[in-house]
Structure 1
Amino acid sequence: MTASSRRTTAARSRTAAVGAIAVAGALLLTGCGDQTEGGNDSGSKETASSSSAPLFDKLPANIQKAGVIKVGTNAEYAPMEYQDGGKIVGVDPDIAAALGKQLGVEFKFTSGSFDGLITSLNSGRYDVAMSSITDTKARQEGLDDKGKKLGPGVDFVDYFTAGTAVYVQKGNPKKINSIADLCGQTAAVQRGTTYEQALQKQSKGCTDDGKKKITIESFENDTEAQTRVKSGGAVAGVNDYPVAIDMARKADGGNAFEVVGEQVDAGPFGIAVNKDNKELSAALEEAVNAIIEDGTYKTILEKWGAESGAIDKAAVNGGK
C-alpha cells in the first residue's frame, strides 16, 4: 500500500495501500485516531448554486446541496498525497480536483490515520476515502485478514494501479534483491496496509520453506517505518511502488534509499464509498472515465511521475 498496496492493502502497496484488511473495523485495526485538517484547493470552484458541470446531476441530492465531497486521506505518501506547507497535494488531490470540475463540487481533504479511514467513512465523517487504498475483496466485504466479518465493507471506484515495492538503505548493505530475501531479517511497514499483509504472506512462505520468519515491525505512520530503515534498525521497508520510487528519488537528495527488485502483487487503488451510496459511486465512475477520455488524467500522472499506474477505464470493485 505503495506504495501496494496502501497505501497493500497496496503502502503508501499507501498497494496502502492502503489485501485482506479489516474494512469496516479499521483496515486491520479499529480506532480512527485524531484527524488533522489539511485544507487544499484541489476542488472545483463550482458550487451547488452552479450546476453547469456536465455530471452535476448525477450526484446525490445531499452532495449537490452541500457543494462539497468530504474526503478522508492519510497525507503521508508522496507523490500520491502529502502535506506541503499545510496544504494536501499530490496525485490524488489533483485527480480529485479534475473530478470536481466534472461534478461541479469541491473535494475537501482531511488527513487522519490510515487504519481509521474506513471506520470514519462508514460513520459518516467522510463521503469518500481517497488515500492510495488498494481495492480488495476483503475490504469490499468488510473482512479481516482471517476472513472474519467485521462490518459492511465499502465499494471502490478504481482509478489507478500499483504494486508493492521493497526499499533499502542506499547502497543496499544487506544485499536484499527481493521480498523473498527478507527471510530471517527485520522489515518495517505501516500498520493496516496491504503491504503489511504482503510481508506477513512472505514470512509464512519463509517458514514453509524451512527458513526463519521475517521480523515485521509495524508503525502507526509510514514516516516511522522509513526512519527505522534509514537508521539500520530494519534492513528494508515495503511500500506502494510509486511511493517507494518517489522516496528513493527525493529523500536526502536521493541518498537515503533505493528500491530493489520489481513491484509485486499489483492491484487497483480505489476511491472508497459507503455501500449504501451507489449513486455517488456511479457518478465518480463516470467522472473518472471523463478525465481519462479528455486527457486530464494522463497530464496529472505525468506531472507527478506516476504514469506507470495509469488505467484505461474506471471500474467499480475491480479488486481481487
Structure 2
Amino acid sequence: MTASTIRRTTAKSRIAAVCAVAVAGTLLLTACGDQTDDAATKTGDGATAENSAPLFDKLPEKYQKSGVIKVGTNAEYAPMESVENGKIVGVDPDIAAALGEKLGVRFEFTSGSFDGLITALNTGRHDIAMSSITDNKQRQEGLDDSGKKLGKGVDFVDYFLAGTAVYTKKGNPEGIKSIEDLCGKGAAVQRGTTYEEALEKQSKACTDGGEKAVDIQSFENDTEAQTRVKSGGAVAGVNDYPVAVDLARKAGGGNDFEVVGEQVDAGPFGIAVNKDNTELRDVLKEAVDAIIADGSYQKVLDKWGAGTGAIPKAVINGGK
C-alpha cells in the first residue's frame, strides 16, 4: 500500500465505523459512537495487574495503565489491511497481535482517511500508524514533495519490505511489460502516494526522452483506481507489490487483473511513531525483533502470502 507523507496518504475512508471489543478472548463488534467513516478493531491481550509479558515493563507507564496502543490505519489494502465482515484483518493487524503478546497490551486499530494519519498521530489521537507506510527521509523530516517543512515528521520502526508494481487488466491487452511502457498512456493510482510519485518520475523520464508524458489519473482511494483499470479507462494501475499481487489473485476470482514485470524501488514499511515518543518506539523495535526471533512474524507473512517481504531484523528510520 507500494505512500505525500506516507506510502498511502490520501484516501477518504469509505468504511463505516465499527469497533471490536475483546470479551473472553473473542472479538465482538459493537457500534463506535461518533467515529464517522472509521473502522476499528482490537488485537492482542489487554494488560493485567500482574502482566507477565516479556516486554511489558519497558512500555511507557501510559500504556501499562491503559493496556491499549491506539493504531491509525487505512484499511483498503489487502493483504496488508482491509475490512472483512466488519473487522480489520491482514498482515498489519496480525503482526500487531503478535507484538501485543510480547508487550502485554492490545493494539486497537481505527481506519480512516490516509491523509490524516500523521496529523492524528502527532496530535495524540493515535499512538502509532501502521498502514503499509513506506519509511523515507521525507516523512522522517516532515517535508512535502518540494522539500518544504510541513511538520516535525515521525520516526519509523521498519518491519517489512515492499516495492512498486504495475498491474493491468487480465490478459494485458496493451502489452505493458514495465512502468517504462506507460509513456503516453493512462495509468491509475491513488492520489498522494509514493507510487504516484513513481509515475511522476517516470513521466518526466518519458518527456526527457522525447516521448509523451504518462497520463496520470489520480484517485482518492485505490478502489477507484482499480475500477478505472478494469473499465479500460487506464491501461495500468500502480500499487504496492504485495497489494497488487493479492489484487491479481483475488479480484473477480483471479480474472480481473494481472501483475506485469518485477517490483521496483523496494523500500521498508515502518510503524510510524511520534518523534517525542522514543520509549514506545524503542520497545516496539524490541518487540518486532522478538517476533522475528520466535517465528511468529514469518507465520503471519506466510498466512497472507506476503513472505517475500520478510526482513531479518527491525530497524529505526532505515528508509532513504
TM normalised by structure 2 equals 0.90
Q: Distance in 1 between matches of 2:272 and 2:48?
A: 23
Residue 38 (structure 1) aligns with: 39
Amino acid across the alignment from 1:38: A
Q: 1:308 to 1:31 in 2, by over 3 A?
A: closer
Q: How does 1:182-261 map to 2 (within 5 A)?
A: 182-261=182-261
In the TM superposition, structure 1's runs of 4+ consecutive aligned residues that sit over 2 Å from their partners are: 29-41
Structure 1 residues 66-215: aligned runs within 5 Å: 66-215=66-215
Q: Secondary structure at the match of 1:271?
A: strand
**Post-superposition shift, 1:64?**
1.2
Distance 1:32 1:86 in 2: 14
Kept in 1, the 8 Å contact 2:71–2:110? The answer is: yes
Which one has more relative contact order, counting CA pairs under 8 Å at least 6 apart?
A: 1
Could you say what secondary structure the match of 1:299 adopts? helix
Any conservation in 2 of the 1:32–1:117 contact (CA below 8 Å)?
no
1:274 aligned partner, one-letter code: N
How many residues align? The count is: 300
Q: Say which SS state the counterpart of residue 266 (structure 2) adopts.
A: strand
- Give the residue type in structure 2 aligned to 1:248: A
C-alpha displacement of 1:48: 4.6
Q: Distance in 1 between matches of 2:152 and 2:64?
A: 25
CA–CA distance in structure 2, aligned partners of residues 217 and 49 of structure 1? 53
RMSD: 1.8
Higher-Rg member (1/2): 2
The structural deviation recorded for 1:36 is 3.4
Paired AA for residue 93 in structure 1:
P
Q: Retained in 1: the 8 A contact 2:13–2:111? A: no
- 1:119 deviation in Å? 1.2
TM norm structure 1: 0.90
After superposition, what is the alpha-carbon deviation per residue over 1:58-88, rounded to whole angstroms, capped at 9, x for unaligned? Answer: 1111111111000000000000000001100
Whether the 8 Å CA contact 1:32–1:116 is kept in 2: the answer is no
Give the one of 7, 18, 30 matched to 1:17. 7
CA drift at 1:113: 1.1
Distance across 1 between alignment mates of 2:201 and 2:227:
23
Note if contact 2:13-2:37 (Cα within 8 Å) is conserved in structure 1.
no
User: Is the alpha carbon distance of 1:93 and 1:30 closer, same or farther for their aligned partners in structure 2, counting shifts above 3 Å?
Assistant: closer
In the alignment, the residues of structure 1 paired with residue 211 and residue 119 of structure 2 have an alpha-carbon distance, to the nearest angstrom, of: 37
Q: Which residue in the other structure is 2:21 paired with?
A: none
Q: Structure 1 or 2: larger strand share?
A: 2
Residue type of the alignment partner of 2:299: T
Task: Give the letter for the 1:204 counterpart.
Answer: K
Q: Secondary structure at the residue paired with 2:192?
A: coil
Match of 1:13 in 2: none
CA shift for structure 1 position 40: 2.5
How far did 1:50 drift?
3.9
Secondary structure (helix, strand or coil) at the match of 1:206 reads: helix
Identity percentage over the alignment? 70
Deviations 1:245-286 (A, max 9, x none): 000000000000000010000000000000000000001000
Instruction: Note the residue ranges of structure 2 that are not aligned, 5 or more in a row.
Output: 15-34
| CA positional deviation for 1:205 | 0.8
Shift of residue 30 of structure 1? 11
For residue 22 of structure 1, what is the aligned residue in structure 2? none
Confirm or deny that 1:264 pairs with 2:286.
no
CA pair 35-178 structure 1, distance change in 2 beyond 3 A? farther
Deviation at 1:293, TM superposition (A): 0.1
Unaligned runs of 5+ in 1: 10-15, 19-26
Tell me, in whole angstroms, the C-alpha distance in 1 between the residues paired with 2:178 and 2:90: 28
Tell me, in whole angstroms, the C-alpha distance in 2 between the residues paired with 1:263 and 1:243. Answer: 11
Distance in 1 between residues matched to 2:38 and 2:186, nearest whole Å: 34
The 1:48–1:196 alpha-carbon spacing in structure 2 relative to 1, beyond 3 Å, is: farther
Query: In the aligned structure 2, how far is the partner of 1:136 from the partner of 1:58?
Result: 27
Q: Which amino acid aligns with 2:194?
A: T
The code of the aligned residue for 1:95 comes to I
What amino acid does structure 2 have at the position aligned with 1:316?
A: I
What is the rounded CA distance, in whole Å, between the counterparts of 2:155 and 2:50 in structure 1? 28
3-state SS of paired residue (1:225): helix
Quick check: 1:133–1:269 contact (8 Å CA) kept in 2?
A: yes
User: Could you tell me which residue of structure 2 aligns to residue 12 of structure 1?
Assistant: none
Residue in structure 1 matched with residue 309 of structure 2 by the alignment: 309
Output one character per residue of 1:172-231: Cα deviation in whole Å (capped at 9) or x when no partner. Answer: 011111000001011111112111111111111111111111111111111011001000
Instruction: Give the counterpart letter for 1:297 in structure 2.
Output: Y
Give deviations 1:20-74, integer Å, cap 9, x for gaps.
Answer: xxxxxxx4x6999986342334x22231534211001111111111110000000
Q: Distance in 2 between matches of 1:111 and 1:50?
A: 31
Per the alignment, do residues 257 and 250 of structure 1 end up closer, same or farther by CA in structure 2, a change over 3 Å counting? same
